[in-house]
Structures are given as C-alpha cells and as structure tokens.
C-alpha cells in the first residue's frame, strides 16, 4: 500500500513499490527539491566506508525517485543500542567530518559576512534589538572552511542499517560549510531538541546523545569554540521558529535560545533578560 507523509517543507514521500520511494513537492519548492536530489547524488560518490545514501534513480521537474532503505530511526536505535553501536555511530561521524576537513577550501571574508547578513535579514526575529545585535555582532570570518555539507544533519535525517549509516533529506544551505552540520548536530545532541519536542523520557537517549556531543566537541573544539560558531548556532535555532505551531514547542525554543552563549552576551551588553518570541 502506498503511504503519504508531508514534512515541514511541504514535500511528500510516497512508496512506489517495495524498493522505490518518491519525494515530490509543490511548484514553489521544486527547485530546492532538485538541489536536494543532486546533493544526494553527489554525496553517493564520496565513497566513505561507513556512510551511504539511498541511490537516486530518477529526477523529474518536481520529484525524485530513490532507493528504499529498511532501517531504524535513531530514536529507536538509541533506545536499544549498546556501547559498540554508539562508538560505531561516533566513528562514522568522525569519518564524515574528517573527510570534509581534508577537502576544505576557504571562503573570502566578505563572502561569509554577506551570506550571514542575508540569512539574518531573512529570519523572523520579533525582538528587533536582538536582530540588530546579530547584524552587528563581530566575529572572525577569515579562513572559514568551505566544504560540502548535508545542510540538515539532525538525527531525524540519519538512519541505521546494520553496519551502515544512511544520510537522508539533504538540504541546500546558506553557507556551504561543515560548520553548519556541526551546528545541526548540536541541536539534537546538546540541546536535545527532538527529545524535548517529542516529550521523550528515556534517560538512555539523553546519555547517548550527550556522550556523542562531548566526543565531537573534544575532536572539533577549535571550530566549535568560536564566535562564528556561536552565531551559526543561534541562527539555526531561529530558523526553526516559523515552523512551530505548538505553544509548548515555542516555549522550548525560547528557553534554548536564552541559554545560548550569544544570547547571554546580548543580555550582558543590554541589561536584558527576556527574549521576545511570539
């Protein structure tokens, strides 16, 4: 039987048969969808030892067909996994980021600042003071790594299939850098976004994700402990806001934003304590 699901972007997922999934979209999103398909095809040629993607069979004007992968979602995976599986996932992420770092180029300083300014302007930030703070925030944009990036690398977009990890739902990004992928993982592994919005009570989930983030932080600390990463972190959380309709989820997001390093700096510089999020 065919199944239909609709994600936050408005895309539809349909099973054509037991081996093929079709992802389609409305006309206004079709250009981004085709970019996703092309990104997925590109990554399939990177030949990593533990990470794969579903094969793309066909790309149309507003859809693409890809391989169906029987696999566990990571919430289910984390509920039952042992230490060996956790380390396997961690080593897979190491392989991914180490590969990107080994192939990195660098952005021009002006290019980074332009891209980030445009992103800030595009976001719905009800607090005008905070928006102005972000626009004028000083950070080092020299030598920013320019690489391939997944674009939406949360654990919702990672599947586990035996001895392979599969990345799905690639997304075009305003800044093509693995920093964006690290920021997305922080959303899941440090802020526990998916756990909180789904009201999960599992201590194992918290412990497993906390462990993975700690190891990633230790390995890539030189990239994470920067003002630029703090800014990207906040922009990623603000990006979520327009998709939220549940008031509880809005409160969770508000609390996460107020806990960020950058918002604490904003409070300190302005003597403010409350972030205005409607």
Q: Give the dihedral sign, CA 46/47/50/55.
A: positive
Residue range 60-97, pLDDT digits in tens: 999 999 999 998 888 788 888 889 999 999 999 999 99
Spell out the domain ranges in the chain.
4-67, 72-270
pTM beyond 0.75: yes
Indicate if the pLDDT at residue 233 is higher than 50.
yes
CA 202 to centroid of chain Cα atoms = 22
Q: What is the CATH number of domain 72-270?
A: 3.90.1200
Q: Look up tokens 């990004």; give the residue.
A: 173
Question: Nearest 5 degrees, angle CA 69-CA 72-CA 78?
Answer: 150
pLDDT at 74: 80
> Do residues 139 and 227 touch, judged by C-beta distance below 8 A?
yes
Indicate if the pLDDT at residue 6 is higher than 50.
no
Strands (E), the chain: 4-6, 12-17, 20-24, 51-52, 56-59, 63-67, 72-73, 105-106, 145-146, 158-161, 164-167
pLDDT at 80: 82
> Do residues 194 and 154 touch, judged by C-beta distance below 8 A?
yes
> Do residues 105 and 139 touch, judged by C-beta distance below 8 A?
no
């Amino acid at each position: 039987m065919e199944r239909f699901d609709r994600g936050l972007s408005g895309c539809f997922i349909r099973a054509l048969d037991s081996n093929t999934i079709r992802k389609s979209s409305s006309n206004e999103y079709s250009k981004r969808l085709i970019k996703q398909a092309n990104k997925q095809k590109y990554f399939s040629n990177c030949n990593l030892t533990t990470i794969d993607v579903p094969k793309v069979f066909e790309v149309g004007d507003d859809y693409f067909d890809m391989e169906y992968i029987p696999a566990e979602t990571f919430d289910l995976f984390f509920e039952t996994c042992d230490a060996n599986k956790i380390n396997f996932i961690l080593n897979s992420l190491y392989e991914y980021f180490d590969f990107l770092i080994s192939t990195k180029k660098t952005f021009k300083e002006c290019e980074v600042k332009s891209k980030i300014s445009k992103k800030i302007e595009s976001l719905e930030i009800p607090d005008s003071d905070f928006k102005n703070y972000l626009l004028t925030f000083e950070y080092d944009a020299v030598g920013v790594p320019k690489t391939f990036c997944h674009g939406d690398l949360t654990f919702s977009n990672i599947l586990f299939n035996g001895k392979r990890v599969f990345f799905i739902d690639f997304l075009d990004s305003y800044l093509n850098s693995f920093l964006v992928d690290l920021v997305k993982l922080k959303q899941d592994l440090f802020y526990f976004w998916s756990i909180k919005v789904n009201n999960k009570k599992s201590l194992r989930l918290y412990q497993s994700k906390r462990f993975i983030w700690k190891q990633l932080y230790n390995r890539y600390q030189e990239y994470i402990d920067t003002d630029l990463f703090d800014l990207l972190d906040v922009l990623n959380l603000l990006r979520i806001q327009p998709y939220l309709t549940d008031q509880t989820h809005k409160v969770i997001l508000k609390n996460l934003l107020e806990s960020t390093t950058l918002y604490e700096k904003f409070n300190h510089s302005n003597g403010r304590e409350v972030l205005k999020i409607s």
